[in-house]
Structure 1
Amino acid sequence: MFKLRSQVFGALMMSATLIVAASQATAAEIKFALEMFEGDNPEFNAAKAFKDYVENKSNGELTVRLFPGNQMGSVRDTTEMVQAGTLEMTLPSDGAFAGFYKPIQVWSLPYLFRSAPVAWDVMSGEFGQWMLKDIEEKTGIKALAFSQNGFRSFVNNVRPIKTPADMQGMKIRTMESPVYMEMVKALGANPTPIAGSEAVMALQQGVVDGLENPPPVLYTGGAADVAKHLTLNEHVLGLHIIVVGKSWFESLPPAHQAIVQEGARLMASVENVQKTEGDWIYAQKIAEEKGVQVHTSTPEEKQAFKDAVYQPVRKYIAEQVGEELLQQMEASVGEAEAKLYQQAE
């Protein structure tokens, strides 16, 4: 009798072990590395929305583990890991991604987008969807969606910037990006490429006179603590690309692929709205809490800046990505504006 009980118990234990093993085999963990730190900020909030959506829609068969604050390395590091198949997911900016895919620079045309909703329409429209597929074909990285990384504006310690002439002779910190350097040169200022981690100290110590970033980054990153003037001129719309490993994504069942794709679009929507909202919320915080003098550019002032920088930067980007791609982007923007503002095409 004891022997029979032992055999029955052993059979039950083996069955339970197989059930657990089967459930573990069907569950997939998505390791998602991002640059921004954990907290109440658009990137992390959007990533958290992705995590909640995917885990709930898959009934826990998919789990998402977030690695914020560059825990897995720089954006370039994590993008290389996704490309190599050693990481499932990351969120590079357009500047970092240009090293993998040159045509992404077409989004950096200064004053290309009249408003955030115009950019959103282009991201989700025919041009944006074509580029997502082209990224996959050219790099082997599966691009799921584009999202907004904020409109970039200038802070400085010399004078209020209301016209291009106000920037004459200023030393402006830029990313190590030829596009941004060309833009600053076209404004009569001197571009000074400095790593992001050293930018605030360079401004504080007078190594540079100013720098440019979206208001939430200026506030949380510390630049607003050491700057005197902020001009909300919104010269370039920063872009994020939501990317995953191609082989990993294709290994998922079709139902799980659909959930991940849906989650990416939800994530893009969350970041788009919070980034847009954050531009004016943090501009107000910068003025009220940091004592920075804030000037919002008028449409006429923006046009003066566009007149100064658009063609020189366009010429440079055309040399990098080709005239045809630029024309396609400009046509897409025109269609989005016509749709949004009900203008005749």
Structure 2
Amino acid sequence: MKMKVMVIFLALTMFAAASAQAARVLKFGHIAPTKIENKDFPMHKAALAFAAHVEKETGGEIKIEVFPLGQLGNERSMLEQVQFGTLDMMDCTTAVMSNLIPQVGLLDLFFLFPSKEVAYKVLADEEFKTVMDALMPGMGLIPIGYAENEMRDFGVRDRTITTPEQMKGVRVRVMDSPVFLESFRALGANPVGIPFPELYTALQQGAVDMQENPIPTSVMMKFTEVAKYLTRSSHSLTCLYKMVSRPVWESLTPEQQQIFLDAAKIAEDINRTENTNMRNELEKLAVDKFGATIADLTPEERQAFHEAVLPVHEKFADQVGVIPNDPKFGKYAGKRYYDMIVEKVNQYSK
């Protein structure tokens, strides 16, 4: 009898140990909301899809807990946590990443991408990824995919802006990013640093004349109540890298790493599709509910904006330097990062 009890005890102990080993839990942080006005926010919906795929395909061996809304800290804080291995993974905007890896800030340059479709092709290009992804492991980061919050647009209180000349003297709220500050200065505007939660009031009271966010964000935050003149400027893609802490990545088996890569692609597709659907729906709401007007830039107007910010492109291109002269980078070894990106943009714009 004692022997039977001992066998059962050992079996239960081994089962418990196996269960504990199977339930490895990783934390995934991002700053996007979960819902706005009862609508699932695309970036969070994609993060949940990533977590579900990993848990399913690893048979429950790995579970991903998603922490939205900056619950684990702001982006800069989370980036440092992932870098040093105290946070397992995150979605991080290129604007924040550029403080650590300046080269990714090139992706924020105004009027670099003629459309988000071209941007997607550049980001997926294997030569581009070989060059850019090589910047990250040395910083403790492993890039496995992308997230996004759409192309950014103009929203103005009292006029429609479709030319650089109309930007002169306009007070525009911008995020604290050198690329954004200098780009608007190059257009003749006066960039103003106002915290995002205070933007509605600033627009309402006339402290700023203009804001620049994707139109869906402007509608959901009700900026279109007080800044009704919208332009699909698509001047910058709000791109985020989906990154895993290097120690975590290296602890995964090759099979698990592939599951993470597959999950990242699933999340990427969901994020982009949901963004497009949300844009169509919320642009209609902006017009029907808020009485907004939406203008598009002609090819000539877009070219005028592009030419106006080219000095900013060149400044940052020189600042971040050249690709290492390493055979693995092929024909781009020794060339400027910026020139490689522009070549890819031109390739996929044809």
Q: 2:24 aligns with which of 9, 28, 31?
A: 28
Cα deviation code 1:234-258 (max 9, x no counterpart): 1111211000110011111221111
Distance 1:37 1:158 in 2: 29
Q: 1:18 aligns with which of 11, 14, 20?
A: 14
Give 2:276's aligned residue: 276
Contact 1:31 1:88 (C-alpha < 8 Å) held by counterparts: yes
Distance 1:138 1:173 in 2: 34
Answer yes or no: is 1:325 the counterpart of 2:321. no
Question: Which is further off, 251-260 or 23-32?
Answer: 23-32
Q: What secondary structure sits across from 1:135 in the alignment?
A: coil
Q: What secondary structure sits across from 2:276 in the alignment?
A: helix
Deviation at 1:141, TM superposition (A): 0.9
Distance 2:67 2:203 in 1: 30
Give 1:89's aligned residue: 89
Give 1:67's aligned residue: 67
Contact 1:182 1:312 (C-alpha < 8 Å) held by counterparts: no
Contact 1:132 1:145 (C-alpha < 8 Å) held by counterparts: no
Distance 2:169 2:236 in 1: 21
Cα deviation code 1:136-163 (max 9, x no counterpart): 2341211112343311111111211122
Distance 1:146 1:106 in 2: 16
> Counterpart of 2:319 in structure 1: which amino acid?
Q
Distance 1:284 1:27 in 2: 45
Q: Which runs of 5+ in 1 are unaligned?
A: 339-345
Distance 1:262 1:238 in 2: 22
Question: Which is further off, 318-327 or 231-240?
Answer: 318-327
Distance 2:211 2:303 in 1: 21
Deviation at 1:132, TM superposition (A): 4.6
Percent identical pairs in the alignment equals: 32
Distance 1:298 1:288 in 2: 24
CA RMSD of aligned residues (A): 1.8
Answer yes or no: is 1:150 the counterpart of 2:126. no
Question: Which is further off, 206-215 or 267-276?
Answer: 267-276
Q: Which runs of 5+ in 2 are unaligned?
A: 323-335
Cα deviation code 1:186-232 (max 9, x no counterpart): 22110112232332332222211111011122122332233221111
Give 1:342's aligned residue: none
Give 2:216's aligned residue: 216
Q: What secondary structure sits across from 2:188 in the alignment?
A: coil
Contact 2:158 2:227 (C-alpha < 8 Å) held by counterparts: no
Cα deviation code 1:19-69 (max 9, x no counterpart): 121121133212111111113111011112111211111121111111111
Structure 1 length normalisation: TM-score? 0.91
Query: How do residues 122-141 of structure 1 correspond to structure 2 at under 5 angstroms?
Result: 122-141=122-141
Cα deviation code 1:246-283 (max 9, x no counterpart): 00111112211111121112212222232234333322
Structure 2 length normalisation: TM-score? 0.89
